[in-house]
């Protein structure tokens, strides 16, 4: 048995894992090797508790150009063009330093996109924080939003959509997930695999420093403990440096000067070099003495594991190195030859003439043990409930309270800090429609993008809640006439070594696979972020879903705003329930379970609504989600500045009228349009006519219950987040 030292435990390796490393090497690792193994065998890099589950996901599709295993996924949008996209997390760094954590999360996901040869054209963000009566949550929200805006605005990529949830389980462990979409000439896209013995390894971009050492890869592989001073491990971002690196890489790829390209993210040179070697079935030599340093006294192991931002690693044919370095000088990106591709299966690290590390690629990348989960369904609700806030409220007051809830309220305070129209592609931006729409004149088409998940509902039922997240994204795309082409995901969960979290992860990945199979949507890539918990417990299980769809034209699309005189109808197999709803949360009544539904009928409704949008029949389309049907109708009225009179009687039957007002579940759409167009949909069985848009009041009858509020009062409640952020917590 290999000798056991305390050092490997400090680096996050178990005794068993250390013994496997020693056996694979035939000796104990030195400090450089141990640091590299500790990162590549971390949860963040190796997915050792989730990789087996991810094999369930469907990844094939007729439009898939690149799937899992590459820097990002990509789908064909015609005319020789592809759209690349991916979502990733920067949760733990953002909980330590929210501005830099969120900013570098945006920078990292952009590098994944242009590493394929795609120009980033849009960013979306999915954020989770604790309740806003907490100073900590306000600090994290403010910092993360400023960081996202700073990086995206500075580099010139629009932030076109996203979501923000506020729930108590995220108080100590916020979630910052960033999604990027890019556009590429399909034939110019490159993979990350190193190839060609004798080819040169070129490092481009910023200098290498101590910022980020042991950062994302370590922080995302262990629970956060209160009081830990981990601020120095958070990376520092420079969007202007990234802009230069991006333009340099895209010019190099356009000139066919690179064999392959990889960004340096978590684990820095270690992960990029080793993953490129593994994908190509080759070895790589790296000389750390050649790496341009920000801190001249860095040790070899620090150079290999630094997570300094804005760096890329390329494989270049020897005859093209001079031209590559000349273009790097043009863009002031500091290109440097630091190694070469070798025959065999070894990663060798040199410090000048001295070899300081020598390891098999397969041992580093492929031989990390994968663990079977030991799931066990919890016997009771593990997340608790807050104090009831809506005891005895009537339906009108309930609607105003829900509209003012930060999770439901307008996020204008946040998205006004983002540039959503730079690059002039944005056709539908935040809150104009349920999905962002970008015109792609290069390919004579348009795409829609959505990102979504309600962790609260996944917490109530990991299977049904995850299916709902997939359906919600597909419904959002249908609202602008888009058909899904592919899906990316970011699976945010607690400690998978604990039976309850293992059960959540198992059920959620099964649901993701089943929903994607039934909808025919391939999963082209994603990210897993585990150990999102503290001694106060885990976050809600939050499998964030990002979806890209295609629509024939960006012209004449509906919005979420009603127009005076519009007929109003409800479409879809909507069967709302109060279980797991925002109202249940406000009443302190959350617990296990959600209302039942079937995917098939929702899929049919998605298709019908999409076709109605494409036929130009609708002015207004808005799906029903947080806060239920009453909130969805009110949002349409607020957006349009017009009242509405709606009677839900034809839909309710013997069902609970309060559930029809405020209950939640998949499959519901609010439609608005000319009376003749709506009657056509009613006659086709697609929708049920329920009312008309007129006046300055919102009146919704649901059997014995009636909501009656002024549009101005509803708007004031819905637009209250900005004032809330400026107020001092009690």
- Predicted confidence (pLDDT) at residue 630 exceeds the cutoff of 80: yes
The HSE-up count of residue 87 (CA atoms within 13 Å, CB side) is: 32
Distance, in Å, from the CA atom of 615 to the CA atom of 187, rounded to the nearest integer, reads 34
Residue 708 lies in a domain: yes
Q: 3-class SS at 683?
A: helix
Q: Which pair of tokens denotes residue 36?
A: 């590299």
Q: What is the pLDDT of residue 15?
A: 93
Q: How far apart are CA 275 and CA 294, in angstroms?
A: 25
Name 74's bridge partners: 66, 84
Integer Cα distance of 169 and 456 in angstroms: 9
Question: For residue range 55-89, what is the model confidence (pLDDT) as tens digits?
Answer: 999 999 999 999 998 999 999 999 999 999 999 99
> What pLDDT, on a 0 to 100 scale, did the predictor assign at position 10?
86
CATH number for the domain harbouring residue 32: 3.90.650.10
3-state helix, strand, coil in the chain (%, to 5): 40, 25, 35
Between CA 111 and CA 264 the distance in angstroms is 8
pLDDT score of 368 more than 50: yes
Residues pairing with 534 in the sheet? 537
Final residue in a domain of this structure, among 299, 334, 368:
368
Residue 281 lies in a domain: yes
Is residue 8 among the annotated active site residues? no
Domain count along the chain: 3
Residue 115 lies in a domain: yes
Query: Would the pLDDT of 500 be above 80?
Result: yes
What local confidence, expressed as pLDDT, does residue 728 receive?
66
CA neighbor of 81 nearest in space, from 115, 117, 110, 108: 117
Residue 649 included in any domain: yes
Report, as an integer, the average pLDDT of 165-186. 96
User: Taking 90 as the threshold, does the pLDDT of residue 249 lie above it?
Assistant: yes
- Phi and psi, residue 437, nearest 5°: -125, 130
Longest dimension (CA), the chain: 84
pLDDT band at 215 (very low <50, low <70, confident <90, very high): very low
pLDDT of amino acid 228: 43
Percent of the chain residues past pLDDT 90, beyond the cut:
89
Same domain for 314 and 196: yes
- Regarding whether 612 and 583 lie in a shared domain, the answer is yes
Of the residues 90, 92, 150, 622, only one is catalytic, namely 90
- C-alpha radius of gyration, the chain, whole number: 26
Half-sphere exposure (Cβ direction) of 563: Cα atoms closer than 13 Å: 11
Same domain, 601 and 480: no
In a 10 Å sphere around its CB, with 0-12 CB exposed, 13-18 middle and 19+ buried, how is residue 227 labelled?
A: exposed
Yes or no: say if 541 and 386 are a contact pair by the CB < 8 Å rule. no
The domain in which residue 202 lies consists of: 10-41+190-368
pLDDT level of residue 4 (50, 70, 90 thresholds): very low
State the average pLDDT over residues 493-499.
96
CA dihedral defined by 417, 419, 421, 422, rounded to 10 degrees?
170
Task: State the pLDDT confidence band at 233, using cuts at 50, 70 and 90.
Answer: low
pLDDT for the residue numbered 292: 95
**How far is 202 from 261, CA to CA, in rounded Å?**
10
Q: How far is CA 28 from the centre of its chain?
A: 39
Asked whether 176 and 542 are in contact (CB, 8 A), the reply is no
Catalytic residue among 8, 44, 92, 619: 44
Report helix angle 395-404 to 711-718, nearest 10.
Answer: 40
Identify the pLDDT of residue 12: 86
Q: Is residue 395 part of a domain?
A: no
Residues 488 and 573 in one domain: no
pLDDT at 477 over 80: yes
CATH label of the domain that carries residue 84 = 3.30.1330.10
- State the pLDDT at residue 211: 73
User: How high does pLDDT run on average in the chain?
Assistant: 93
- Whether 349 is covered by a domain: the verdict is yes
CA distances from 18 to 22, 31, 170 (A): 6, 13, 33
> From CA 1, how far away is CA 671, in angstroms rounded?
68
Does residue 288 belong to any structural domain of this protein? Answer: yes
Q: Do 113 and 33 fall into the same domain? A: no
Q: Are 239 and 151 in contact (CB under 8 A)?
A: yes
Confidence category of residue 647, pLDDT binned at 50, 70, 90:
very high
Same domain, 181 and 240: no
Which backbone phi and psi does 290 adopt, to 5 degrees?
-90, -10
Q: What is the pLDDT of residue 11?
A: 87
Look at residue 1 and tell me whether its pLDDT is greater than 60.
no
**Does the structure show a pLDDT above 70 at 481?**
yes
Q: How confident is the model at residue 210 (pLDDT cuts 50, 70, 90)?
A: confident
Confidence of residue 235 (pLDDT cuts 50, 70, 90): confident
On whether residue 2 sits in a domain, the answer given is: no
Q: Which region, left, alpha or beta, applies to residue 537 given φ > 0 means left and ψ of -120 to 50 means alpha? A: left
386-434 pLDDT, tens digit per residue, is: 889 887 789 999 999 999 999 999 999 999 999 999 999 999 989 999 9
To the query of whether residue 92 is one of the catalytic residues in this protein, the response is: no
pLDDT band at 166 (very low <50, low <70, confident <90, very high): very high
Residue-wise pLDDT tens digits, 451-475: 999 999 999 999 999 999 999 999 9
Angle formed by the axes of helices 135-155 and 98-114, to 10°? 40
In the three-class reduction of DSSP (H, G, I as helix; E, B as strand; rest coil), residue 331 is classed as coil
pLDDT in tens, 586-627: 999 999 999 999 999 999 999 999 999 999 999 999 999 999
Q: How far apart are CA 621 and CA 479, in angstroms?
A: 5
Q: What is the pLDDT of residue 729?
A: 63
- Model confidence at 573: pLDDT above 70: yes
Determine the pLDDT at residue 103.
Answer: 94
Residue 359 sits in the same domain as residue 214 = yes
Residue 434 backbone class (left: φ over 0; alpha: ψ -120 to 50; beta: rest): alpha
Q: How many CB atoms lie within 10 A of CB 706?
A: 15
pLDDT for residue 3 is more than 90: no
Cα 710 from Cα 708, distance rounded (Å): 7
Q: Evaluate if residue 227 carries a pLDDT over 50.
A: no
Same domain, 170 and 230: no
pLDDT digits (tens, 9 = 90+) for 85-137: 999 999 998 999 999 999 999 999 999 999 999 999 999 999 999 999 999 99
Closest CA to 312 of 442, 203, 151: 203
Q: Which of 520, 555, 590 is the last residue of a domain?
A: 555
State how far the Cα of 435 lies from the Cα of 448, in Å rounded to an integer.
6
- Dist. CA 669–CA 491, nearest whole Å: 27
Q: Of 345, 368, 391, which marks where a domain is finished?
A: 368
Q: Are 650 and 552 in contact (CB under 8 A)?
A: no
Residues 159, 212 within the same domain: no
Question: Based on the number of CB atoms within 10 Å of its own CB, is 725 exposed (0-12), middle (13-18) or buried (19 or more)?
Answer: middle
* Dist. CA 549–CA 607, nearest whole Å: 13
Q: Are residues 484 and 338 in the same domain?
A: no
At 237, the pLDDT band (50, 70, 90 cuts) reads: confident
The residue assigned the tokens 């609260």 is: 456
Give residue 5's pLDDT: 53
Residues 457 and 574 in one domain: no
Residue 230 has pLDDT above 60, yes or no: no
Given a cut of 50, whether residue 693 has pLDDT beyond it is yes
Q: How far apart are alpha carbons 642 and 336 in whole angstroms?
A: 61
Q: Are 690 and 644 in contact (CB under 8 A)?
A: no
Check whether residue 576 and residue 550 sit in a common domain.
no
């Amino acid at each position: 048995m290999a000798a056991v030292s305390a050092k490997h435990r400090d680096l996050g390796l178990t005794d068993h894992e250390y013994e496997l490393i020693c056996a694979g090497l035939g000796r104990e690792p030195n400090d450089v090797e141990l640091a590299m193994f500790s990162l590549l065998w971390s949860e963040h890099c190796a997915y050792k508790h989730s990789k087996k589950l991810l094999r369930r996901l469907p990844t094939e599709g007729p439009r898939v150009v690149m799937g899992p295993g590459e820097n990002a996924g990509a789908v064909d949008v015609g005319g020789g063009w592809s759209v690349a996209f991916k979502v990733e997390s920067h949760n733990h760094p953002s909980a330590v330093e929210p501005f830099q954590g969120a900013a570098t999360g945006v920078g990292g996901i952009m590098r994944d996109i242009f590493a394929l040869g795609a120009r980033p054209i849009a960013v979306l963000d999915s954020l989770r924080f604790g309740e806003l009566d907490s100073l900590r949550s306000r600090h994290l929200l403010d910092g993360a939003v400023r960081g996202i805006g700073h990086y995206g605005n500075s580099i010139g990529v629009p932030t076109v959509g996203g979501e923000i949830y506020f729930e108590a389980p995220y108080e100590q462990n916020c979630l910052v997930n960033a999604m990027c979409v890019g556009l590429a000439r399909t034939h110019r896209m490159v993979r990350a695999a190193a190839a060609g013995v004798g080819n040169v390894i070129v490092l481009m971009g910023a200098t290498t420093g101590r910022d980020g050492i042991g950062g994302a890869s370590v922080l995302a592989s262990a629970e956060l403990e209160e009081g830990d001073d981990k601020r120095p491990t958070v990376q520092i971002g420079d969007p202007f440096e990234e802009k230069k690196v991006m333009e340099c890489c895209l010019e190099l790829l356009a000139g066919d000067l690179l064999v392959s390209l990889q960004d340096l993210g978590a684990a820095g040179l270690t992960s990029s070099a080793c993953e490129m070697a593994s994908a190509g079935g080759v070895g790589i030599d790296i000389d750390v003495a050649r790496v341009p340093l920000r801190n001249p006294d860095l040790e070899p192991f620090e150079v290999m594991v630094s997570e300094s931002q804005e760096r890329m690693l390329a494989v270049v044919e020897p005859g093209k190195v001079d031209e590559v370095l000349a273009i790097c000088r043009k863009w002031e990106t500091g290109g440097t030859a630091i190694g070469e591709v070798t025959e065999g299966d070894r990663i060798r690290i040199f410090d000048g003439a001295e070899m300081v590390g020598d390891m098999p690629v397969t041992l580093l990348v492929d031989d990390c043990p994968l663990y079977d989960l030991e799931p066990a369904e919890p016997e009771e609700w593990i997340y608790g409930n807050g104090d009831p806030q809506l005891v005895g409220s009537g339906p009108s007051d309930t609607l105003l309270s829900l509209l003012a809830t930060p999770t439901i309220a307008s996020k204008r305070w946040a998205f006004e800090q983002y540039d959503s129209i730079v690059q002039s592609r944005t056709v539908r931006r935040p809150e104009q429609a349920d999905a962002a729409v970008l015109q792609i004149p290069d390919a004579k088409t348009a795409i829609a993008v959505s990102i979504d998940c309600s962790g609260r509902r996944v917490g109530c039922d990991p299977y049904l809640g995850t299916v709902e997240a997939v359906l919600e994204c597909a419904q959002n795309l249908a609202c602008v006439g888009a058909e899904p082409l592919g899906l990316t995901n970011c699976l945010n969960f607690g400690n998978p070594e604990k039976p309850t979290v293992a059960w959540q992860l198992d059920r959620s990945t099964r649901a993701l696979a089943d929903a994607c199979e039934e909808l025919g949507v391939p999963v082209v890539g994603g990210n897993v972020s585990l150990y999102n918990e503290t001694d106060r417990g885990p976050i809600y299980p939050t499998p964030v879903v990002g979806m890209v769809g295609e629509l024939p034209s960006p012209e004449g699309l509906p919005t979420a705003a009603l127009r005076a005189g519009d007929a109003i109808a409800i479409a879809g197999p909507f069967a709302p329930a109060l279980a797991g709803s925002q109202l249940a949360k406000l009443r302190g009544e959350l617990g296990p379970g959600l209302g039942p539904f079937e995917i098939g009928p929702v899929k049919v409704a998605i298709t019908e609504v999409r076709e109605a949008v494409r036929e130009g029949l609708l002015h207004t389309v808005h799906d029903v989600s947080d806060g239920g049907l009453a909130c969805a109708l009110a949002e349409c009225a607020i957006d349009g500045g017009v009242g509405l009179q709606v009677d839900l009687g034809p839909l309710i039957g013997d069902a609970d009228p309060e559930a029809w007002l405020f209950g939640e579940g998949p499959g519901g759409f609010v439609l608005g349009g000319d009376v003749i167009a709506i009657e056509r949909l009613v006659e086709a069985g697609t929708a049920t006519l329920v009312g008309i848009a007129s006046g300055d009041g919102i009146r919704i009858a649901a059997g014995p219950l009636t909501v009656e509020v002024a549009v101005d009062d509803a708007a004031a409640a819905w637009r209250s987040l900005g004032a809330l952020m400026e107020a001092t917590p009690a």
